[in-house]
């Protein structure tokens, strides 16, 4: 099993060559205060060191040992506590956080790269900083100044961690029917009572306090999603002077036995009149949650690709070293008993498919992160709104497409190993088990697809989609004279047109029949993702081509050849997806329950 090595060369290529991210940062005055290219590069370097050197080595053992529950306490696998201290010492939780409360104020374009390395090195562990950063985001965006001052600094530092408490046994996707309630006290606080499940890192021994952000209903709340409020409920109450007070009445009832991410604790959390404080407006808890969702959902997409990158690293090494059978064109290494796997076309197909998704996916998540940075930091409102709409459109694609492909890639990376891929010691099977959750949590991929198709496309009659289409079209237009990129522009334009046609088709069909949205959604998201990655690969070609000639490392020419493979073998899937969508919803809806 290859040890994970942070792919800094590839990350720098995307940040500085495919995109000119430093120029973007410089164009956003509020960001320019916090970040410059040298600082950013030093952060990448350090992130590479701790993820490859400190966190990755705990990944296998974390899976073997798992978290242990005993009478409400959760013990983490060996080494996790120490690794978490490394996170605290580096202030990594607060990398993108608000500098007014101790965050570092780094752009999402940079934070996204750290997230990839963190999640690739050890997904179970990486969820702790990820959830904390997510909780900070929600608190920073919606909490009162008092709450922020009291909680954010210790959360950014990581001395306290964060958890998001949404799901209940009967309410997952459908948060409108949650039962957890919050009764007001005279002092402005609330007593929160109810049971939450699937709470990632809801309890553990790595931080001094755990700050839960809990969805609950006020006594007079309206039914459904418009009657949900968000509460901050700490494990230990915090005194006026910031020191820890008494234990709050909440407890971890048990942790789940699950398929993967076993090093993390997935908790049942029981709130028994636990003291909490309202975050944001009453009954607007779901909206508050959703402001951080765009950040988190992109982060989950990146998780999918992180696991995929780890799988690729091992598979590539194995394909170069494992000797098995002879090349179809004749013996390549006569002095050995067999040729290395890499001589076989189908093994190359597997590695190239992995690369096509991972490297295209890395560019895509950085592209989405750019829009997030603009939406957060641009002075110009028009520019900000434009970016917000792009973010709204692209976020479900990033979450679902990159995690669906994350599973695909990890399964391929396991297949490269043959029987050894099924055995635990090689690590490839753990990546499959771990990455599988990314398709499920933070809104299942089916829900992402409904969000994309329904709210982000049909609801605004394709207006957001037009913004994306214009961006791609502009790239096609301005690069007609680039000889390296030109061969890709026609198939890219065709893919864009196919996507646009299907978009128009679904908008029309949905006006007649609301079931058309759900009938098209998952295939539409795939079609969108494949097209978006084709756009990314064209941009990669543009960046790599001028440098390929003098380069003997194979780095740039490898990019050009992977682009070709992507267009030849992977992009054609869009044709079938479009055809399937156009067959409409009748074939799905026209069955009684008995007929299933």
Q: Give me the active site residues, please.
A: 442
Question: Is 236:225 a contact under the CB 8 Å cutoff?
Answer: no
Q: Which of residues 252-291 bind a copy of itself (CB under 8 A)?
A: 256-260
CA atoms of 236 and 207, how far apart (whole Å): 11
Does position 507 interact with a copy of itself (CB under 8 A)? The reply is no
Q: What are phi and psi of 19, to 5 degrees?
A: -115, 155
Select the residue interacting with a copy of itself from 36, 99, 422, 477 (CB under 8 A): 422
Does position 332 interact with a copy of itself (CB under 8 A)? The reply is no
CA atoms of 422 and 288, how far apart (whole Å): 42
* Residue 64 neighbours by CB distance under 10 Å: 13
Residue with tokens 């007014």: 100
Does position 427 interact with a copy of itself (CB under 8 A)? The reply is no
Does position 483 interact with a copy of itself (CB under 8 A)? The reply is no
Q: Show the site string, 55-84: x = touches a copy of itself by CB under 8 A, - = not.
A: ------------------------------
Q: Which of residues 117-146 bind a copy of itself (CB under 8 A)?
A: none
Of the ranges 124-132, 152-160, 238-246, 345-353, which one interacts with a copy of itself (CB under 8 A)? Answer: 345-353
Select the residue interacting with a copy of itself from 70, 243, 329, 480 (CB under 8 A): 329
Beta carbon nearer to a copy of itself, 139 or 214 = 214
Q: Name the burial class of residue 319, with classes exposed (0-12), middle (13-18) and buried (19+) by CB atoms within 10 angstroms of its CB.
A: buried
Q: How many residues bind a copy of itself (CB under 8 A)?
A: 100
Q: Which of residues 163-182 bind a copy of itself (CB under 8 A)?
A: 167, 170-174, 177
Assigned token pair, 487: 């061969």
Which region, left, alpha or beta, applies to residue 230 given φ > 0 means left and ψ of -120 to 50 means alpha? Answer: beta
Question: 17 in helix, strand or coil?
Answer: helix
Question: Is 274:248 a contact under the CB 8 Å cutoff?
Answer: yes
Q: Which of residues 80-109 bind a copy of itself (CB under 8 A)?
A: none
Q: Nearest-CA neighbor of 347 among 432, 435, 423, 413? A: 413
- As measured in angstroms, the least distance from the Cβ of 130 to a copy of itself is 17
Q: What is the DSSP letter of 75?
A: E
- As measured in angstroms, the least distance from the Cβ of 295 to a copy of itself is 21
Q: Which of residues 531-560 bind a copy of itself (CB under 8 A)?
A: 553-555, 557-558
Q: Nearest-CA neighbor of 277 among 178, 191, 181, 166? A: 191
Of the ranges 105-113, 133-141, 297-305, 320-328, which one interacts with a copy of itself (CB under 8 A)? Answer: 320-328
CA distances in angstroms from 585 to 138, 451, 573, 577, 593, listed in the order given: 37, 18, 20, 14, 16
Q: Nearest-CA neighbor of 40 among 93, 112, 88, 101? A: 112
Does position 490 interact with a copy of itself (CB under 8 A)? The reply is no
Select the residue interacting with a copy of itself from 441, 465, 468, 528 (CB under 8 A): 441
Residue with tokens 């242990």: 68
- As measured in angstroms, the least distance from the Cβ of 320 to a copy of itself is 6
Does position 432 interact with a copy of itself (CB under 8 A)? The reply is yes
Does position 149 interact with a copy of itself (CB under 8 A)? The reply is no
Question: Is 34:106 a contact under the CB 8 Å cutoff?
Answer: yes
Select the residue interacting with a copy of itself from 181, 348, 383, 386 (CB under 8 A): 348
Beta carbon nearer to a copy of itself, 375 or 562 = 562
């Amino acid at each position: 099993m290859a040890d994970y090595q942070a792919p800094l060369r590839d990350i720098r290529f995307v940040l500085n060559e495919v995109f000119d991210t430093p120029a973007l940062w410089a164009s956003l005055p509020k960001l320019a205060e916090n970040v410059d290219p040298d600082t950013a590069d030093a952060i990448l370097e350090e992130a590479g060191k701790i993820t490859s050197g400190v966190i990755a080595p705990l990944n296998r053992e974390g899976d073997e040992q798992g978290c242990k529950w005993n009478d409400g306490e959760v013990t983490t696998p060996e080494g996790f506590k120490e690794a978490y201290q490394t996170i605290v010492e580096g202030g990594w939780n607060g990398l993108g956080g608000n500098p007014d409360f101790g965050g570092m104020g780094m752009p999402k374009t940079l934070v996204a790269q750290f997230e990839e390395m963190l999640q690739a090195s050890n997904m179970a562990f990486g969820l702790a900083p990820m959830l904390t950063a997510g909780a900070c985001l929600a608190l920073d965006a919606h909490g009162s100044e008092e709450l922020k001052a009291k909680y954010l600094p210790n959360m950014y530092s990581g001395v306290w961690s964060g958890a998001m408490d949404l799901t209940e046994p009967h309410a997952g996707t459908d948060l409108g029917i949650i039962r957890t309630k919050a009764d007001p006290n005279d002092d402005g606080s609330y007593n929160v009572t109810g049971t939450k499940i699937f709470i990632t890192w809801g309890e553990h021994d790595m931080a001094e306090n755990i700050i839960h952000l809990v969805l609950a209903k006020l006594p007079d709340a309206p039914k459904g999603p418009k009657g949900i409020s968000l509460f901050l409920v700490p494990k230990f109450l915090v005194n006026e002077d910031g020191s820890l007070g008494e234990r709050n009445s909440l407890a971890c009832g048990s942790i789940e036995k699950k398929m993967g991410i076993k090093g993390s604790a997935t908790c049942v959390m029981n709130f028994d009149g636990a003291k909490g404080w309202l975050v944001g407006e009453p009954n607007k808890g779901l909206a508050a949650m959703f402001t951080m969702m765009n950040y988190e959902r992109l982060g989950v997409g990146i998780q999918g690709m992180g696991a995929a990158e780890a799988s690729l690293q091992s598979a590539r090494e194995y394909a170069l070293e494992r000797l098995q059978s002879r090349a179809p064109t004749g013996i390549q290494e006569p002095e050995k008993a067999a040729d290395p796997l890499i001589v076989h076309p189908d093994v190359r197909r597997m590695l190239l498919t992995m690369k096509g998704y991972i490297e295209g996916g890395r560019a895509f998540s950085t592209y989405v992160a750019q829009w997030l940075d603009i939406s957060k930091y641009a002075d110009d409102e028009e520019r900000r709104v434009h970016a917000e709409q792009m973010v709204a459109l692209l976020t479900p694609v990033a979450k679902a497409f990159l995690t669906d492909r994350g599973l695909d890639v990890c399964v391929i990376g396991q297949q490269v190993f043959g029987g050894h891929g099924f055995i635990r010691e090689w690590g490839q099977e753990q990546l499959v088990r771990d990455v599988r959750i990314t398709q499920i949590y933070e809104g299942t991929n089916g829900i992402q697809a409904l969000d994309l198709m329904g709210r982000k496309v049909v609801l605004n009659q394709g207006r957001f989609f037009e913004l994306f289409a214009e961006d791609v079209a502009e790239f096609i237009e301005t690069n007609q004279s680039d000889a390296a990129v030109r061969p890709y522009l026609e198939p890219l334009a065709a893919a864009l047109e196919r996507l646009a046609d299907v978009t128009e088709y679904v908008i029309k069909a949905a006006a007649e029949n609301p079931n058309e949205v759900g009938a098209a959604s998952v295939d539409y998201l795939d079609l969108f993702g494949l097209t978006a990655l084709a756009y990314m690969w064209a941009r990669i070609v543009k960046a790599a081509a001028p440098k390929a000639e003098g380069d003997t490392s194979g780095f740039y020419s490898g990019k050009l050849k992977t682009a070709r493979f992507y267009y030849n073998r992977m992009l054609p899937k869009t044709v079938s997806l479009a055809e399937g969508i156009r067959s409409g919803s009748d074939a799905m809806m026209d069955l009684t329950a008995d007929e299933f």
